[in-house]
Amino acid sequence: MILQQYKIVFGGTMGSGKSTAIRALSEIEVVGSEAVNTDAEAHTKAHTTVGIEYGEITLGDGVKVGLYGTPGQDRFDFIWSVICKGAIGTILLIDHQAENPLEDLAHYIAAFRNTNQNIVIGITHVDEKIERPTLIYRDWLEQQDCNYPLFFVDARQQEDVLLLVEAMVSSTEVNLLS
C-alpha cells in the first residue's frame, strides 16, 4: 500500500534524466517500466520508460513523497494526465543538449500545465553542451510570462534532485497560504 502524503510527477523529454532522478532520491527500489528503445531518432539511449515509474522519499520533517515518472515520448502522452491526477505538481526535466531545448520546454509546459499549474523546471546535461548559453531558458520564460522556478541540475546527483523536490513542496505550501 502506498502511504505517501504528496505526489510529485517527473515529466519531460526522453533522455532528460527522469528515471535517473527518481533513482537518485528513492528510498525504495524503483518500480519501473523500461523497455528497449525503438525510437533511436528521438534518443540513442538503449532503454526508455514506456509506462509509470515509482519511487518514494521521506523529507526531513517526515513528509513522505511519492515520485512518479512519465514516459517522455509523445506517443505516450495519453498517460501523462492520468499520472498527474492528485499530484501537487510536476518537475519538468529538459535536456540542454537536445536539438531545440526551448521548443521542448514549450511543448512540455503546454502539456503539463493543463493538469497542474505548479511546475518546477530542471535543465539537465548542461555540461554536455557548454557552448549553448543557459540564459536562453530564463529569457524564454520571461518572454512567455512564465514564472516557474528554474534550476540547472545533474539528475544523477541526489542533492540536485532534492532541490527540485524541495522547491516543489515549498511552492505548494506558498500556494496553499495565498
Q: Is residue 127 part of a domain?
A: yes
Q: What is the average pLDDT value for the chain, to the nearest integer?
A: 85
Least confidently predicted of 63-77, 82-96, 160-174: 63-77
Per the structure, the complete domain to which residue 84 belongs is given by: 6-177
Q: Is residue 91 part of a domain?
A: yes
For the chain, what percent of residues have pLDDT higher than 90?
60
Confidence of residue 171 (pLDDT cuts 50, 70, 90): confident
Q: Is residue 19 part of a domain?
A: yes
Q: Is residue 1 part of a domain?
A: no
User: What pLDDT score does 118 carry?
Assistant: 92
Q: How many structural domains is the chain composed of? A: 1
Q: Is residue 147 part of a domain?
A: yes
Neighbours of 39 (CB within 10 A): 14
**Cell matching residue 164:** 527540485
User: What pLDDT score does 174 carry?
Assistant: 73
Angle subtended at Cα 59 by Cα 56 and Cα 65, rounded to the nearest 5 degrees: 35
Q: Is residue 110 part of a domain?
A: yes
Instruction: Choose from 49-53, 85-89, 118-122 the range with maximum mean pLDDT.
Output: 118-122
**Cell matching residue 162:** 532534492
Confidence of residue 47 (pLDDT cuts 50, 70, 90): very low
What's 160's domain CATH number?
3.40.50.300
For residues 143-162, average pLDDT: 96
Confidence (pTM): 0.85
Tell the burial category of 147 from Cβ atoms under 10 Å away from its Cβ (0-12, 13-18, 19+).
Answer: exposed
